[in-house]
Structure 1
């Protein structure tokens, strides 16, 4: 373990590069008129994926970085669902033809806060407005503490194929520090209900770098999850940004581990998972060899979007709900994060777009370089640049961060090929940042590199 590199680079705050350019660089210069035009310009034969953001939970976890709020009553949730249906109709009507869709993702918040019968009806609506493939992946994020048997059954009946179980950490001291008390038994019951309902694949989401968290707690948590038989694990580092997420102010900075300790926690989790037969995918995912993500990684076809690593290679991603981000060939768009303004836009028959960014030719080239680094830990700059009508030496001359990373052994440069050695791959975001021409004074919005 390169603790020297973790100490030197691990505390730098950098984007997770789930997009490029990254969301802090979106602006109000791109609005609903642009989005409407971009939708109408989608060419025949393009494929799409759908993301639905459900901005409600029953209780607030203090570590959360999502756009969500506590809904103790069903009224606001039902109102939102009515607005979401309206947005689906509004966007689908802008498309020149029914969009072929192979991936649908429900995120939050807690998507299963939606009433069970309404969820089934909503998925049926999607099948009428979009051309959902018979084998489309329909994925949903689950809070195991609140998944009822009825809701699990509806998920299966609606065709949900993959569910992500939020676990984070089972250690009682950590759970008290993040206001999320969840037992192993609750999690097992949720998994059993999903399997029984016909959901064919489970993910488990873990966090390291939490307050009061130790390496031992990380190891014990992942071992407790292995009997659930998930095909994937996501292992994310906690992003402490109390200036942007006020509820995170309830977490004391003094209780958070530093860069080297965070690195030790991540590597301890990785060691247990690899010993159990999971393949390491990128910087924070693990998958069984037969899982589509592991196969995509082996074939060099892994992609990255706002849900992290993915097998989704769609030409367009349509985002629905407050704060949801969409990606089209022309650029990125993001809905208004404020539910009231979102509702008023949809009620007026307008897209809820609040900001975005148009992608330049240079952005497209840099996006491919960054995505391949994030997915494969290497990239042939010459090949990528030729495909985008530019030169590798132009990118290299502008990469001011690269010489220091090369001197420290974080990156290797052989001709136009850049690679990251195995012992330094936990710093892949630092290497990707060397090719980010938009990276500026937005560090406080980003998470630690480790």
Structure 2
């Protein structure tokens, strides 16, 4: 039965960190529209900031992020100047009555930024935006970049969460994906950030990597558990060489098949639950006292471009090349090409080149898809309350899907649409049922398991 479900529901679908998804953004959303939307943010609204650093001193072959390789600091220094111009311009358009509740530094490798430049970057943010109390500041970290000065700089900017990509500790797997990172290196980072008062550590693990086996993955999971991270993300490797050319460096014949990927996923998840972590959505795990676990238990779990979050901010402002922003009115994306981004930022400060304005149907489907991804179902009464004009359309689709689905992956209970235990591993595929854009063929996606 399980193999037949895998064959049917493991096809390529979006990860649904947004809806509509990025392939459906269009050029009609420009800097003028973005400036208008920013100006409409006001009193009582929380905002999150995401800063993208699109540079790495090594390229990991598995990575699907927007980044480029450099061994020189000059390109990073030039980029930071343009980034600060964008920060100042965007901040000038946002009311000081809107407060920053979270800042996330992503990449690429934000820890490539020199210590003094990281401190200067945070000063630019605080000068441009009004910060609330107890702001969460998270940084994606590469252990190979870090030294005492960088640790001190991250402490100086008030980092509260450190996020470490681990993937797999097996040397053969690491060599194949060009990510050499020992357990000892990783432990040293965890110890260093905790010694500086960081209250939350996240580790990423990948399954489905070349030459990865159940045994190598089990060893990695045990090693990660020994570090006692507060959160663990268990991602399936997304092989998208048509989009990220460096992934052609990975030998496809060394990749595990769908059934092996599923075994790896379920085994790792079982180990994490047995170690006391609570499952969060489709691929996150957290200690019971972690804010993510608490949000999930209270029905307040959210999903955005950083994955699962407890961040309740109404607006996510993306800063830097390729960054995507999520505002109440819709989505915007900055110029992806770094050189062109710098030119636009230096000229005007705004760099948006595309996006999408949300219709009422978009908002309805975004709500339903987020509910499925976060809570494995949605309430019909909740839909009717939030979207009285259009909600019945999706309710009818849910009833029809359950009626014709003979695989036992979903059910309707007490006027709620729910995934069964058999259906939960295929939440992305079920969410795709409610995606009205997917059939138009824009974009190619990774497998759902």
Q: Do they superpose with TM above 0.5?
A: yes
Which string of whole-angstrom CA distances, capped at 9 and with x for unpartnered residues, describes residues 153-178 of structure 1?
21112100000011001111211211
Matched, 1:412 2:411: yes
Which region of structure 1 is more displaced relative to structure 2, 1-10 or 246-255?
1-10
Map residues 281-320 of structure 1 onto 2, 5 A cutoff. Answer: 281-320=280-319
Aligned to 1:215: 214
Aligned equivalents of 2:291, 2:95: Cα separation in 1? 31
Change (3 A) 1:404 1:254: farther
Change (3 A) 1:130 1:394: same
Change (3 A) 1:253 1:146: same
Two-structure CA RMSD over aligned residues (Å): 1.7
Aligned equivalents of 2:369, 2:26: Cα separation in 1? 22
Q: Which runs of 5+ in 2 are unaligned?
A: none
Aligned to 2:365: 366
Map residues 25-174 of structure 1 onto 2, 5 A cutoff. Answer: 25-174=24-173
Which region of structure 1 is more displaced relative to structure 2, 24-33 or 440-449?
440-449
Which string of whole-angstrom CA distances, capped at 9 and with x for unpartnered residues, describes residues 200-222 of structure 1?
21000111111111111111101
Query: Post-superposition shift, 1:99?
Result: 2.8
Query: Post-superposition shift, 1:98?
Result: 4.8
Aligned to 1:338: 337
Aligned equivalents of 1:139, 1:404: Cα separation in 2? 44
Aligned to 2:352: 353
Aligned to 2:196: 197
Q: Which runs of 5+ in 1 are unaligned?
A: none
Which region of structure 1 is more displaced relative to structure 2, 279-288 or 405-414?
405-414
Change (3 A) 1:33 1:166: same
Aligned equivalents of 1:97, 1:172: Cα separation in 2? 50
Query: Post-superposition shift, 1:327?
Result: 0.8
CA contact (8 A) 1:241 1:444 kept: no
**Superposition TM-score, scaled by structure 2 size:** 0.96
Aligned to 1:324: 323
Change (3 A) 1:391 1:331: closer
Change (3 A) 1:126 1:400: same
Which string of whole-angstrom CA distances, capped at 9 and with x for unpartnered residues, describes residues 42-89 of structure 1?
232211000001000000000110000011000000011111111100
Aligned to 2:4: 4
CA contact (8 A) 1:280 1:287 kept: yes
**Superposition TM-score, scaled by structure 1 size:** 0.96
CA contact (8 A) 1:333 1:356 kept: yes
Aligned to 1:178: 177
Aligned to 1:423: 422
Aligned to 1:259: 258
| SS of residue paired to 1:233 | strand
CA contact (8 A) 1:103 1:312 kept: yes
CA contact (8 A) 2:277 2:287 kept: yes
Query: Post-superposition shift, 1:392?
Result: 4.6
Query: Post-superposition shift, 1:128?
Result: 2.3
